[in-house]
A = this chain, B = another copy of it.
């Protein structure tokens, strides 16, 4: 964090604090303190707290994309193995991490600001949709090979993977137990396996 520029340090601070406390509970002063930046510098780079939040969603997308791109599952030949590999990778991302460290910046902000701040809401949805699209393309390939006649929609299933993961985070937060999220993602894996297994046997 030390050698980063002022903007990126503020983005990192936003990810950290918003994921832990939410958007409203995170003050500009607190962001500046963590980023080791003055308030003057903050408002030099961003016109408002809202603008930081909106731009932080794009920062989050590049930040997380790098993590997923480096994951092993991309090297698997069979797209169904890639899909199961993706789900397993989401489980791996939970181990040894606190809730604030493994939960989704976009989901957290979207739930809080969906009605009161359209700009933030939309930015969060775009970020989720970008990630869901990478999952959708894997699902599409898996479907083409293993379940070409299946009735379910690949785009809908891609969004469902994200919904399950977001919901897993909500329940894990309520119980204050990351293990619960893992448990929920195991169900997601089983659903996908059943979906393809059942289609194969037709």
Residues of chain A at the chain B interface (Cβ within 8 Å): 20-22, 24-25, 99-100, 106-108, 110-116, 118, 121, 124-125, 128, 152, 156-157, 159-160, 162-171, 173-176, 180, 183-184, 187, 190-191, 194-195, 197-198
Contacts and interface: CB of A to CB of B under 8 A. Distances in A.
Nearest to A110: B174
A200 to B, nearest CB: 13
29 contacts: A20-B115, A20-B116, A21-B116, A22-B112, A22-B113, A22-B116, A24-B112, A25-B116, A99-B114, A100-B115, A110-B174, A111-B111, A111-B173, A112-B112, A114-B176, A115-B173, A121-B173, A159-B183, A160-B184, A163-B164, A163-B167, A163-B170, A163-B171, A166-B171, A167-B167, A167-B170, A190-B195, A191-B191, A194-B195
A111 B172 CA distance: 9
A194 B197 CA distance: 10
Nearest to A124: B174
> Most chain-B Cβ atoms within 10 A of its Cβ — which of A22, A99, A100, A198?
A22
Given A115-B100, A194-B198, A170 B166 contact: yes
B21 A115 contact: yes
Nearest to A153: B183
A113 to B, nearest CB: 8
A198 B167 CA distance: 25
Contacts of A22: 22, 24, 111-113, 116
B171 A170 contact: no
Contacts of A198: 194, 197-198
Given A156-B187, A194-B195, A121 B170 contact: no
A25 B176 contact: no
